[in-house]
């Protein structure tokens, strides 16, 4: 692997001191910023340095309780740079690696032909170098956010423009640490692949050419590939590895990037197994674009913690980059870690604890649904019972583990409208009786139901109950139901 020597010499300082220390200047300064070129004259020589100072008079509220997220071992924890970062007082206390969110995409820089807009890209590069942080360029070749005028050119003309694009980036940013050379080759190849050799003999000649051009112009950068729906899809992982192998055989790839969008429901075992398959190539893995798009705070925190732990603790993962963290300034709307009101979601509270200590960091359990009538029905979620004897809790059900089980539900509001009971359960191989009482296991009986004994996982047995009025402690007693799963019990009106 070829590496930028200065970056890797500085990296232990960043690891040892953390992002906050870098901000305070105690870890030494970063490299000198790159020099700029005339935006209207792509072939001109550099004339002025990129301004490393990002200043503004705009003030934003701070997240007062956030501390430094120091990396563990050799793994960085990064985030995106956008124009809003220049007014974000918390960014540097949280993250220690920089990726420009959109500014490095060719179509953002050169939307009209030969009219170059480097402003945000310059600022992101200077921000990283000024603060001694590793910087990833995103991206040289991609099928999205590319210059629309490329489609009007012949293949030789397209190739000339691609080479000019590479040359301009190399000249303007000589100290890039990492580069997403080709982004999303499996899902969004560009329209100009034929200019780069098309499929060719390998099926991926256009990708190989892209990396050959990058290796020539960026000999000291870590060259990465990047795509989404990889670790969540075993078939996509296999296809990705075929392309990775072609690049590795030619010494064109230094690390494997995996986007971490759209993993909200992916089985963790599959994610980890596919990470292991990628790790067999003996290249570092970089988790890019991590977000968890879940609206409920606690469910969001739980899933974020599950995914992040799998990535962070994998021995081949050398970096994790989040794709935004502030509400309203993030691509996927429910993936934020800090709200517009500058309040932490549980995921960020957990993250600070986990990265600092890696123990005793918990996402709070969601409160049980209120046990009050809703359109005439009170639903008792058995997995939220306040006590359970003779039953084993699952995620959405309990399994009866003895000949007699007792479940207690506090603060249940009942009215005379509740005259029927419906029990949602799995099949019972023998006679199982469910008795519902108030005041204790031997208290006043308000319902007794014998469960349906036919086979099945989602059965429903109905019965009648004695109406009562008031707030009660309700007991559910299950006799003779070893192995039966009970999901929930509805006390309902007609």
Tens-place pLDDT, residues 138-158: 999 999 999 999 999 999 999
Q: What is residue 69's predicted lDDT score, i.e. its pLDDT?
A: 42
Distances (CA, A) of 259 to 177, 219, 228, 286, 303: 18, 24, 5, 9, 16
SS3 240: helix
Q: What is the pLDDT of residue 462?
A: 94
Catalytic residue among 161, 171, 178, 289: 289
Show Cβ contacts of residue 152 under 8 Å, excluding neighbours closer than 6 positions: none
CA angle 388, 393, 397 (to 5 degrees): 110
Instruction: List, in sequence order, every beta strand (DSSP E) within 220-369.
Output: 222-226, 255-259, 285-290, 317-322
- Whether 153 and 187 map to the same domain: the answer is yes
Q: In this predicted structure, what is the pLDDT of residue 32?
A: 32
Q: Are 103 and 386 in contact (CB under 8 A)?
A: no
Same domain, 101 and 155: yes
Asked whether residue 297 falls in the same domain as residue 408, the answer is: no
The active-site residue out of 101, 184, 264, 406 is 184
Residues 331 and 436 in one domain: no
Structure tokens belonging to residue 473: 């402690």
Give the percent of the chain with pLDDT over 70.
84
Is 35 a catalytic site residue? no
DSSP 53-85: ----S------TT-------TT-EEEEEE-GGG
Residue 298 maps to a domain: yes
> What pLDDT, in 10s, does the model give residues 199-220?
999 999 999 999 999 999 999 9
Rg, the chain, Cα only: 29
- Inter-residue contact 344 to 63 (CB < 8 Å): yes
Q: Is the pLDDT score of 321 beyond 50?
A: yes
Joined together, the tokens standing for residue 104 give 């490095």
Instruction: Give the three-class secondary structure for 19.
Output: helix
39-96 pLDDT per residue, tens: 233 332 332 333 333 333 333 333 333 334 443 446 899 999 988 877 788 899 999 9
Same domain, 209 and 143: yes
Q: Which of 294, 325, 357 is the last residue of a domain?
A: 357
Q: Is 430 a residue whose pLDDT tops 90?
A: no
Encoded tokens for 86: 């220049």
Q: Which residue has the higher pLDDT, 178 or 459?
A: 178
235-290 pLDDT, tens digit per residue, is 999 999 999 999 999 999 999 999 999 999 999 999 999 999 999 999 999 999 99
What pairing do the DSSP bridges indicate for beta strands 135-142 and 98-100? parallel
Residue 369 lies in a domain: no
Residue 5 is predicted with a pLDDT of 32
Q: What mean pLDDT comes out for the span 474-482?
A: 91
- Tell me which of 338 and 67 has the higher pLDDT: 338
Q: Out of 41-55, 304-318, 325-339, 413-427, pick the least confident.
A: 41-55
Please report whether residue 285 resides in a domain: yes
Residue 415 dihedral angles phi and psi, to the nearest 5°: -130, 170
- Are residues 282 and 410 both part of a single domain? no
| CATH number for the domain harbouring residue 73 | 3.20.20.80
Q: Is residue 411 included in any domain, yes or no?
A: yes
The Cα 378–Cα 446 span in angstroms is: 14
Residue 415 has pLDDT above 60, yes or no: yes
- CA dist 32 and 267 (Å) reads 44
Q: How far apart are CA 414 and CA 466, in angstroms?
A: 11
In a domain, 366, yes or no: no
pLDDT of 47: 27
Strand bridging mode 433-438 / 178-183: unpaired
For residue 251, give the nearest of 279, 278, 281 by alpha carbon: 281
Assign 14 a pLDDT band (cuts: 50, 70, 90).
Answer: very low
Q: Which residues contact 150 (CB under 8 A, 6 or more apart)?
A: 158, 161, 190, 191, 192
Q: Dihedral of CA 387/391/393/397: which sign?
A: negative
322 & 453 share domain: no
Could you tell me if 234 and 335 lie in one domain?
A: yes
The CATH number for 402's domain is: 2.60.120.260
Q: What spatial distance separates the first Cα and last Cα of the chain, rounded to whole Å?
A: 71
Distance in angstroms (rounded) separating the CA atoms of residues 393 and 458: 17
Is residue 188 very low, low, confident or very high in pLDDT (cuts 50, 70, 90)? very high
Asked if 39 and 173 sit in the same domain, the reply is yes
Asked if the model's pLDDT at residue 34 lies above 80, the reply is no
DSSP 27-41: T---PPPPEE--TT-
Spatial distance between the Cα atoms of 14 and 21, rounded to a whole number of angstroms = 8
Q: Is 184 a catalytic residue?
A: yes
Residues 74 and 182 in one domain: yes
| Residue 395 scores a pLDDT above 90 | no
pLDDT of residue 241: 98
Residues of the domain holding 134: 5-357
pLDDT of residue 6: 34
Among 357, 387, 417, the domain-final residue is 357
Residue 120 lies in a domain: yes
Total count of domains within the chain = 2
305 and 402, same domain (yes or no): no
Residue 37 predicted with pLDDT over 50: no
| 399 assigned to some structural domain | yes
Q: Which residues are paired to 471 by β-bridges?
A: 413
Examine the domain organization and report whether 275 and 418 are in the same domain: no
Where in 117-167 does DSSP place strands (E)? 135-142
Q: In sequence order, which ranges of 219-373 are alpha helices (DSSP H)?
A: 234-249, 268-279, 297-312, 346-357
Main-chain dihedrals φ then ψ at residue 391, nearest 5 degrees = -145, 150
Of the candidates 460, 468, 455, 374, the one whose C-alpha atom is nearest the C-alpha of residue 419 is 468
Q: What is the pLDDT averaged over residues 407-429?
A: 91
Q: Which of 357, 388, 406 is the last residue of a domain?
A: 357
Q: Which two tokens mark 398?
A: 């309990």
How buried is 16 (Cβ within 10 angstroms: 0-12 exposed, 13-18 middle, 19+ buried)? exposed
d(CA 415, CA 375): 12
pLDDT for the residue numbered 202:
98
Q: Please give the mean pLDDT across all residues of the chain.
A: 84
At residue 464, does pLDDT exceed 60? yes
């Amino acid at each position: 692997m070829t590496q930028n020597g200065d970056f890797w010499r500085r990296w232990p300082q960043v690891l040892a001191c953390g992002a906050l220390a870098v901000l305070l200047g105690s870890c030494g300064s970063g490299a000198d910023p790159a020099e700029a070129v005339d935006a209207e004259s792509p072939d001109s020589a550099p004339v002025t340095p990129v301004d490393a100072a990002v200043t503004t008079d705009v003030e934003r509220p701070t997240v007062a309780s956030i501390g430094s997220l120091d990396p563990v071992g050799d793994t960085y924890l990064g985030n995106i740079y956008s124009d809003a970062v220049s007014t974000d007082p918390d960014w540097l206390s949280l993250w220690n690696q920089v990726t420009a969110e959109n500014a490095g995409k060719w179509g953002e820089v050169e939307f009209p032909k030969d009219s170059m807009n480097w402003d945000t890209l310059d600022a992101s590069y200077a921000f990283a170098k000024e603060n001694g942080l590793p910087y990833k360029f995103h991206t040289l070749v991609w099928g999205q956010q590319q210059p629309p005028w490329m489609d009007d050119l012949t293949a030789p003309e397209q190739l000339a423009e691609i080479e000019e694009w590479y040359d301009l980036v190399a000249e303007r940013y000589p100290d890039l640490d990492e580069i997403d050379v080709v982004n999303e080759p499996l899902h969004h190849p560009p329209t100009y692949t034929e200019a780069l050799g098309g499929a060719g003999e390998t099926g991926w000649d256009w990708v190989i050419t892209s990396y050959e051009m990058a290796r020539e112009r960026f000999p000291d950068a870590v060259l990465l590939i990047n795509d989404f729906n990889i670790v969540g899809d075993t078939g996509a992982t296999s296809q990705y590895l075929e392309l990775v192998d072609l690049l590795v055989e030619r010494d064109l790839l230094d690390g494997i990037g995996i986007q971490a969008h759209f993993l909200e429901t992916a089985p963790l075992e599959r994610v980890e197994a596919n990470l292991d398959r990628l790790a067999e190539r003996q290249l570092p893995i970089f988790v890019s674009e991590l977000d968890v798009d879940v609206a409920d705070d606690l469910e969001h925190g739980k899933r974020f913690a599950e995914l992040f732990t799998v990535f962070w603790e994998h021995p081949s993962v050398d970096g994790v980059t989040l794709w935004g963290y502030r509400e309203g300034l993030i691509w996927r709307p429910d993936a934020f870690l800090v709200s517009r009101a500058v309040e932490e979601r549980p995921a960020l509270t957990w993250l600070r604890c986990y990265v600092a200590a890696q123990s005793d960091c918990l996402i709070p359990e969601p409160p049980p649904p209120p046990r009050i009538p809703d359109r005439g029905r009170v639903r008792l979620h058995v997995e939220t019972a306040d006590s359970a004897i003779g039953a084993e809790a699952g995620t959405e059900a309990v399994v009866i583990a003895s000949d007699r089980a007792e479940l207690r539900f506090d603060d249940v509001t009942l009215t005379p409208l509740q005259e029927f009971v419906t029990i949602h359960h799995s099949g019972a191989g023998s006679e199982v009786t469910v008795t519902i009482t108030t005041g204790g296991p031997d208290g006043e009986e308000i319902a007794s139901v014998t469960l349906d004994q036919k086979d099945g996982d989602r059965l429903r047995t109905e019965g009648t109950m004695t109406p009562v009025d008031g707030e009660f402690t309700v007991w559910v007693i299950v006799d003779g139901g070893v192995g039966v799963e009970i999901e929930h019990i509805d006390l309902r009106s007609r």
